[in-house]
Structure 1
Amino acid sequence: MYSDILVPTDGSDASAAALDHALSLASQYGARVHGLYVVDWEPYGLVEEGKSILVDTLHSEGATAVASVEEAAGSAGVDARTSVVEGDVHRQIVDYVDEEGIDLIVMGTHGRRGLDRLILGSVTERVVRSSPVPVLTVRQRSSDGDGDGDGAHS
């Protein structure tokens, strides 16, 4: 049913929860997992000097985030491919789907706290609306253990 599953990641706990779901599905279907981190400096509105520092930092964060995907996939015995790209996050995700023949996107409903959390939440909504393939959204389990957020919604 699925041969290539995309997990957009920002390195957050919500992305890790989505990765757990994606790895479970990949194991069940013998699929490959794709970890994708998108460097998007536009929301920060920086001048050229600040932009290069931020882009370098975001690329470093991206490398760490996709390395986590690769490591988790290896531990689960799942084939993985990772990529760090630049651009508008939701557009890059949808473009990656088209370019790589992705069958399913599994992503967290929200990313990191603060501004990043709001940005990824809106990204998830945009991906759900524009994706040519099914999108499984996964909420992060709450830290107080009440179970809220451990379900998946599409």
Structure 2
Amino acid sequence: MYDHILVATDGSATAQRASAHAVELAGQAGADLHAVYVIETRTGYDNAIVDPEVVRQNFQEEGEAALAAIEDQAGPALAVTTAIREGVPHEEVLAHVDENDVGLVVVGSKGRSAFKTRLLGSTAEAVLHSARVPVLVVNDNVP
């Protein structure tokens, strides 16, 4: 049914649940799994207290760890294509969908920061409303 499944992650507990579902679905469908972490560029760190390059490097390391966790979940039987992108999260997720002929997107219902969600809007909601492919949203109640 699906040849390419994408899971978007921010490393949060909900994203980890979504990743487990994506790995399971890809295995059952014999699909390629894509995992994407997006470094948010809309948040400004332009003061003398916080070095923007240090913040970017921290996000890069978080992304690498989140993607490595998905590769570990998948194990050797399932190939995972990973990508760290920079930009507006839902736009970058949707761009990856278009660029890689993804047939299903799996996302967690909420990310790391409730404040960030109120400030910037929900990535899951934006993907859900803008995607031209099915979107599976995994919430906190799902084991």
Judged with a 3 Å threshold, the aligned counterparts in structure 2 of structure 1 residues 53 and 35 are, in CA distance, closer, same or farther, namely same
Aligned-residue offset at 1:41: 3.5
Match of 1:150 in 2: 142
Ranges in structure 2 where 5+ consecutive residues have no aligned partner: none
Aligned-residue offset at 1:32: 1.3
Counterpart Cα distance in 2 of 1:83 and 1:35: 6
TM-score with structure 2 setting the length: 0.90
Q: Which has the higher contact order (CA 8 A, sep 6+)?
A: 2
Match of 1:146 in 2: none
Aligned-residue offset at 1:21: 1.0
Match of 1:101 in 2: 101
RMSD: 2.0
Runs of 4+ in 1 over 3 A off after TM superposition: 116-121
Counterpart Cα distance in 2 of 1:120 and 1:138: 20
Counterpart Cα distance in 1 of 2:29 and 2:3: 7
Match of 1:133 in 2: 133
Match of 2:46 in 1: 47
Whether the 8 Å contact between 1:41 and 1:55 is mirrored in structure 2 is no
Ranges in structure 1 where 5+ consecutive residues have no aligned partner: 141-148
Counterpart Cα distance in 2 of 1:73 and 1:120: 31
AA aligned opposite 1:27: G
Judged with a 3 Å threshold, the aligned counterparts in structure 2 of structure 1 residues 119 and 8 are, in CA distance, closer, same or farther, namely farther
AA aligned opposite 1:131: A
Q: How does 1:48-127 map to 2 (within 5 A)?
A: 50-74=51-75, 77-116=77-116, 118=118, 122-127=122-127
Match of 1:7 in 2: 7
Judged with a 3 Å threshold, the aligned counterparts in structure 2 of structure 1 residues 51 and 125 are, in CA distance, closer, same or farther, namely same
Judged with a 3 Å threshold, the aligned counterparts in structure 2 of structure 1 residues 33 and 78 are, in CA distance, closer, same or farther, namely same
Whether the 8 Å contact between 1:31 and 1:79 is mirrored in structure 2 is no
SS of match in other structure, 1:42: coil
Aligned-residue offset at 1:113: 4.0
SS of match in other structure, 1:97: helix
